Amino acid sequence: MIIVLKPGASQEQLDHIVSKVHELGLKTMISQGVERTIIGVIGEEDILRITPLEVFPGVEKVLPVLKPYKLVSREFKPESTVVAVKGVRIGSRSIQIAAGPCAVENREMLFATAKAVKAAGAGMIRGGAFKPRTSPYTFQGLGEEGLKYLREVSDATGMPAVTECMDPRDVALVESYADIIQVGARNMQNITLLRELGQVKKPILLKRGMMSTVKELLMSAEYILSNGNFNVILCERGIRTFEDATRNTLDLSMVPLVKRLSHLPVFVDPSHGTGVRELIEPMSIAAIAAGADGLIIEVHINPEAALSDGAQSLTPDEFARLMKGLAPVAKAVGRELQ
Amino acid sequence: MIIVLKPGASQEQLDHIVSKVHELGLKTMISQGVERTIIGVIGEEDILRITPLEVFPGVEKVLPVLKPYKLVSREFKPESTVVAVKGVRIGSRSIQIAAGPCAVENREMLFATAKAVKAAGAGMIRGGAFKPRTSPYTFQGLGEEGLKYLREVSDATGMPAVTECMDPRDVALVESYADIIQVGARNMQNITLLRELGQVKKPILLKRGMMSTVKELLMSAEYILSNGNFNVILCERGIRTFEDATRNTLDLSMVPLVKRLSHLPVFVDPSHGTGVRELIEPMSIAAIAAGADGLIIEVHINPEAALSDGAQSLTPDEFARLMKGLAPVAKAVGRELQ
Amino acid sequence: MIIVLKPGASQEQLDHIVSKVHELGLKTMISQGVERTIIGVIGEEDILRITPLEVFPGVEKVLPVLKPYKLVSREFKPESTVVAVKGVRIGSRSIQIAAGPCAVENREMLFATAKAVKAAGAGMIRGGAFKPRTSPYTFQGLGEEGLKYLREVSDATGMPAVTECMDPRDVALVESYADIIQVGARNMQNITLLRELGQVKKPILLKRGMMSTVKELLMSAEYILSNGNFNVILCERGIRTFEDATRNTLDLSMVPLVKRLSHLPVFVDPSHGTGVRELIEPMSIAAIAAGADGLIIEVHINPEAALSDGAQSLTPDEFARLMKGLAPVAKAVGRELQ
Amino acid sequence: MIIVLKPGASQEQLDHIVSKVHELGLKTMISQGVERTIIGVIGEEDILRITPLEVFPGVEKVLPVLKPYKLVSREFKPESTVVAVKGVRIGSRSIQIAAGPCAVENREMLFATAKAVKAAGAGMIRGGAFKPRTSPYTFQGLGEEGLKYLREVSDATGMPAVTECMDPRDVALVESYADIIQVGARNMQNITLLRELGQVKKPILLKRGMMSTVKELLMSAEYILSNGNFNVILCERGIRTFEDATRNTLDLSMVPLVKRLSHLPVFVDPSHGTGVRELIEPMSIAAIAAGADGLIIEVHINPEAALSDGAQSLTPDEFARLMKGLAPVAKAVGRELQ
């Protein structure tokens, strides 16, 4: 940590800060420049996190040197994490695709969609039983009934099921049905939920908040890992910007960036990331080209009848075409579609 | 709702859409222009919300005409809501100030701060017992112990207590101690929490998410009202933008905007909104000038020792000066400090 | 400047960087911590600006310590700059209001509007002769004819005239007619224009780009000052964010922030800053409360007939009401309307 | 265009608006719903652009139906534009790569870099002679001397030269040396520059502003086309968002989006788009996978000695590796590296 003093900071102020840092068991190194005095702090930076040094008289700013996360970092664990679920190895050389409806609406629709996406090459089924909708007046999901259908279809097809949990009280329930528990973008900083999920055995798919930095995404994952669950898959799903021609701005640069900073696998959700049906195929291909370990895509057997996000759902035919386009690009970047 | 067709949309596509709209019990009005055909839909727009019209062949875009919220709107309730808590009337002619530490750290600190802010003219005490921190390695709050101190200091000073609830399982607990329950910015779209708070008797202070539009803030309030609790205070606390000279960008324009769109009172939090101690006083004054009904401000008896947000906490002296500056401006805009 | 090395940086890499810094005539101070080595650089930081230290092997990041601007800073000139134009003293205790149409459309409209805003208390007339429109198919301004009308109305009313220059080839022309030359938001980083305006005698009103940080605004001002013209007025006019309920997000926090960082006067443009007619009055009042030295407001004698920005233009009556609301707030914050 | 009236709009207000629309030679279609009255306007929408309908009493909002650009749209010209420069066909099946230093610093450096990028497979040389720097105290380019070196190296290697023009007074000068004239992000809405470039014979590479929407980029291109120059290449170079782990957020979704909306070729600049050397290779590959027609990449023979943007410049070796990675992905999406 580096403490930069104001131009006119007094010797007394300098002494006050230095003695405070020493009290905490840390060492200092003072560098008196022409215009500014700088204090380098040596030792465990964490100790300083709880001390509001910016508030001390004479301090202009405080520059942290170390990253605020540990367990999720590649420095902590250099080899890439592979999350294995019923034979699906996420984060391996093999690209994994989860597909299915935004929301589980009924048994028939779910089975028909699952059969179609499996035929096209998907390895996992996705579908929401609990939906965090912006409006209280729209479809909020089937709840446990939806979870049951998901379990059923997963068992029938052999595809692991991914579904969202949005309430800390539902964690045990969702865990009992799902193979991978999803944290939605709106809940990326729902700390109580993250803590519960850290105590679960099932892998977590953690979606980036629509206005969260990569650092904050890693900090949220750190909550889960530090509570005991190391099976976390990160997921880019678009961030909020001024551009309104797409629903969100899909930040693909985060894929190679996160792969450098962290050992955790990274998925991309081009459905929410663009919100525009025609853009899902090219952005899926681009995501794999950028190094993503997998995709999560909304597919509906009949988008016209979807109860949520119909406008960004692919038909099974569109999804099959996407999968065909994906294979040669996966190969071109040294990966493979399972 | 208005449906705009693509330039080359066929008569068959038009008929398909129109018959779907009629099936839902709505009327249509077709306008065939030189370049585009437009379908006006007449009737209860809500019915159409669950139908993904964008997905129908031939549709270019769908333009909603009505606002997606009802109970929070001024059209639903033209007169301004006044939230009354133990003699404090929020949303009345009188400006209300809640002040106190970011987190309740111990009993002594809280009492000393409360005494100081009351002397300076604050009408409510604020303080967090549960803290949703970005990092799992920082102080997370005292929990119920903090709530007890808050209740004690509130009873001793007569100032109603505002404190955050971040877990739907803690709602009853927090309600039993607090006078006003705060929803933090990170939980503005925590739907399960909002639903619980809709069933509570105590008023809710709902902070705008750092990534949320004014419309989404109103939709989140709609969750609370539609579950039965009409005592909601909205709170601007800065949004996330590209500007990094301040911690957030305080969007004061939302104050007069929300006062037009909704009957609910609006508070401003200049502490989180700027994150820069020197800017809190001028922005507090500007907030009142813009029409805010009150402020929530972080004050700490000894910011150097604060366990969180020390850098943006005012000392009691700074807060007292702020209150002195506030009074003439409140008067100049036809309001009064109680 | 502080250079942070990567965790595994070698002694050889450290030596290479240090020798490069010494070559430039600067001193270093090395601090070897538990996890990182840090190099403090002492001396004229400017010398290092052209050396891409981030690119040197072993370097993780480079943290600048000093601000990148000089002439515009309060450290360079502690007393506030007052820009005086024909008796109008911008940056003094007196609040100054420039009002008028977005574009000069014809002589009659301009004279009628000027008369009205003067009667309401405006001290300056504004109006565009050159309009940087997003679309090539909309009204682009009257050019020199518009400048002539502005000069005429300024002479007739005694109000100094503010108008935009958007082409470096037009600087001499605009200077010959205008009293204050405006740089529009889209041209804030039009470097060739800034350089020309640095050689002009007339004051410059420099609007913040909708995508520009406060630091970049100050850097653009630095271009003008470093070319010889110290009479610069900065102007906040809203930044672009995800919020679409207003045309831009008016960043009022920048007002007290810039007043601390710089000696230059700061104006606010609530017309472009909000783009919503009903919000102009409350945000004008809030701007003055936040410490702005003046406002620039769009007023049109007949907004229904305006050739540009009609939707955000006030009528003379609305403007007169705004001025009435402004006076007591100016007084409450220790200022006065002339 | 659709005009939505306020809930309580009177018959008189409706009549006033309708008569205004009829005056302009347009037809109306009125749809009176339960809560709102809507006026559909039929005819040439352009006529209405200059009429500020939002300002008419009773109007709540005005929704444009048609796109504001014409000449750049695919509806105007369905087949893709191929810009041909000295045998390089931009927008064809062949992917084109422009590479070279951020700024031309001297003759030797430029020749060495050009030779290296040509050997690695680049088809065009890039380099700035005029640099729009944020700070007046950094290297501003060699000016005409730089242009001469560019011409020389272009003639010697056979690679067309791309270079920026930032001043309307320099257009003829730059045109006399360059093969493709670049408009930088800061000048995307420099209207006077765009108009001049519309009268030029050489192709224009138009970079997206860092806070400009896709629609605004297309409108800026419309300025060039409507002034007579149809040889425009659009270029994504990252937009400004809250994320600060990368210099900008590269918006790759705009690539397939713009290819649908417009017939113009689209380039991507991963150097400015990420600002992080390690991310340039994966994002180059992703850009091609997303459908880009080419890339513009900063390469420097010795990044440690670069006078600008050294930190994001690739070495010739890194660039050669990137080109090797690019070829199989280009093939996988049905394209080829020349």
The per-residue pLDDT for range D182-240, each reduced to its tens digit, is: 999 999 999 999 999 999 999 999 999 999 999 999 999 999 999 999 999 999 999 99
Write the DSSP assignment of B204-247 as a string of letters: EEEEPPTT--HHHHHHHHHHHHHTT---EEEEE--B--S--SSS
What value does the mean pLDDT of chain D take?
Answer: 92
Q: Regarding predicted confidence, which is higher, A22 or A80?
A: A80
Take residue B249 and report the two structure tokens written for it: 């960008």
How big is chain A by its Cα radius of gyration, in Å?
23
Among D127, D133, D194, residue whose Cα is nearest residue D167: D194
What value does the mean pLDDT of chain A take?
Answer: 92
Q: Regarding predicted confidence, which is higher, C125 or B28?
A: C125
SS3 content of chain A, % helix, strand, coil (to 5): 40, 20, 40
Among A145, A208, A144, residue whose Cα is nearest residue A170: A144
pLDDT of residue C45: 65
pLDDT of residue D21: 86
Residues C240/C249, Cβ–Cβ less than 8 Å: yes
D242 and chain B: CB distance < 8 Å anywhere? Answer: yes
Residues in chain D within 8 Å Cβ distance of B42: 31-34
Distance from CA of B27 to the nearest CA of D (A): 9
Among B127, B184, B168, B147, residue whose Cα is nearest residue A196: B168
Q: Do D29 and B34 touch (CB under 8 A)?
A: no
Out of B35, B43, B63, name the one closest to residue D2 (CB): B63
Q: pLDDT at residue B191 above 70?
A: yes
Q: How confident is the model at residue B241 (pLDDT cuts 50, 70, 90)?
A: very high
pLDDT of residue D68: 81
pLDDT of residue A221: 97
Residues D175/D168, Cβ–Cβ less than 8 Å: no
Distance from CA of B219 to the nearest CA of C (A): 14
- Give the span between the Cα atoms of C202 and B277, in whole angstroms: 36
- The string of pLDDT tens digits covering residues A79-122 is 999 999 999 999 999 999 999 999 999 999 999 999 999 999 99
Q: How confident is the model at residue A134 (pLDDT cuts 50, 70, 90)?
A: confident
Q: Do C191 and D226 touch (CB under 8 A)?
A: no
How much is the average pLDDT of A312-330? 96
Residue A38 CA: distances (Å) to CA of A34, C34, C40, C62, C261: 11, 19, 8, 15, 20
Query: Of the CATH numbers 3.20.20.70, 3.40.50.2300, 3.40.190.10, 3.40.1000.10, which one belongs to the domain with range A83-337?
Result: 3.20.20.70
D42 and chain B: CB distance < 8 Å anywhere? Answer: yes
Among A66, A133, A135, pick the best mutation site for testing chain B contact (most B Cβ within 10 A): A135
Q: pLDDT at residue D49 above 70?
A: no
Q: Tokens 């005494």: give the residue.
A: B115
CA angle A116/A121/A123 to nearest 5° reads 100
Distance from CA of D336 to the nearest CA of A (A): 13
D42 and chain C: CB distance < 8 Å anywhere? Answer: no
Flag the least confident range among A5-9, A52-56, C108-112, D5-9.
A52-56
- Give the span between the Cα atoms of B162 and B150, in whole angstroms: 9
Flag the least confident range among B257-271, C322-336, D41-55.
D41-55
- Give the span between the Cα atoms of D271 and D254, in whole angstroms: 17
pLDDT of residue B39: 84
B249 and chain C: CB distance < 8 Å anywhere? Answer: yes
Take residue A195 and report the two structure tokens written for it: 């803590």
What value does the mean pLDDT of chain C take?
Answer: 92
Residues in chain A within 8 Å Cβ distance of C31: 29, 40, 42
Residue D66 CA: distances (Å) to CA of B317, C10, D38, D223, D263: 58, 61, 17, 18, 18
CATH entry 3.30.70.1140 includes domain C2-63: yes
Take residue B24 and report the two structure tokens written for it: 């839902």
- Give the span between the Cα atoms of B125 and B162, in whole angstroms: 6
Residues D222/D71, Cβ–Cβ less than 8 Å: yes
How much is the average pLDDT of B184-195? 95
C100 Rama class: left (phi>0) / alpha (psi -120 to 50) / beta? left
- Give the span between the Cα atoms of A103 and C135, in whole angstroms: 42
* Amino acid found at C261: L
CB atoms inside a 10 Å sphere around CB B108: 10
Portion 60-119 of B in contact with D at CB < 8 A: 63, 65-66, 75
Distance from CA of B175 to the nearest CA of A (A): 18
- Give the span between the Cα atoms of C209 and D188, in whole angstroms: 13
- Domain spans of chain C? 2-63, 83-337
Q: How far is CA C301 from the centre of its chain?
A: 27
Residues D283/D250, Cβ–Cβ less than 8 Å: yes
Residues in chain A within 8 Å Cβ distance of D250: 251-253
Q: pLDDT at residue C32 above 90?
A: no
How much is the average pLDDT of C240-260? 96
Among A31, A32, A63, A247, pick the best mutation site for testing chain C contact (most C Cβ within 10 A): A31
pLDDT of residue A34: 66
